[in-house]
């Protein structure tokens, strides 16, 4: 879920529940576990939740670096970004989905890297691709740039 507030500069705020992230991690790895190897399943039980929570924090720090130019604030998976005038508010929905996808991919990648480094490569590539899409979504223009052309 997200909110878009417009006050001169546009502020985008979205909240991603930790339970939703852990649920998606468990679902994704359960599918991978059936397809490839039963030992890949990540059980989001209390014993693993602390480790997974630290992986979520690392993913959030990566996102803060990506959003650095937009005055990011994060507090327990609640992101707030101050976007420049002209930022298309419809892109906020895409951005929220990409952030969620990045966090899930990064958590799975780091978990599998501990136990199955050879199988973590796919998730690392996926996280990298999603981060590239996040950066391009944030930095793309919403309006045509008009310049005065002077031939002489």
> Which residue would you say has higher pLDDT here, 1 or 129?
129
- Could you tell me if 92 and 78 are in contact, meaning their C-beta atoms sit under 8 angstroms apart? no
Q: What is the mean pLDDT of the chain?
A: 75
Q: Which percentage of the chain shows pLDDT scores above 70?
A: 72
Measured CA to CA, the distance from residue 58 to residue 68 in angstroms comes to 15
Q: 5: alpha, beta or left, given left = phi > 0 and alpha = psi -120 to 50? A: beta
C-alpha dihedral sign at 56, 28, 134, 11: negative
At residue 16, the 3 state secondary structure works out as coil
Give the model confidence (pLDDT) of 86-133 as tens digits: 677 777 788 888 988 999 999 889 888 887 788 788 889 999 999 999
Whether the model clears a pTM of 0.85, i.e. scores above it, the answer is no
Q: Which of 100, 70, 73, 103 is nearest to 85 (CA)?
A: 70
Q: Which of 53, 42, 61 is nearest to 111 (CA)?
A: 42
């Amino acid at each position: 879920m997200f909110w878009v507030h417009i006050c001169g500069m546009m502020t985008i705020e979205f909240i991603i529940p930790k339970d939703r992230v852990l649920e998606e991690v468990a679902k994704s790895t359960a599918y991978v576990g059936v397809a490839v190897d039963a030992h890949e399943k990540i059980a989001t039980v209390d014993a693993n939740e602390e480790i997974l929570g630290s992986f979520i924090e690392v993913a959030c720090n990566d996102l803060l670096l990506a959003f650095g130019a937009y005055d990011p604030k994060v507090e327990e998976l609640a992101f707030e970004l101050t976007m420049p005038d002209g930022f298309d508010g419809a892109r906020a929905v895409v951005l929220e989905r990409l952030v969620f996808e990045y966090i899930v991919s990064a958590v799975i990648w780091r978990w599998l890297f501990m136990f199955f480094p050879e199988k973590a490569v796919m998730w690392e590539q996926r996280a990298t691709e999603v981060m590239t899409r996040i950066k391009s979504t944030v930095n793309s223009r919403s309006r045509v740039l008009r310049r005065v052309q002077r031939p002489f």
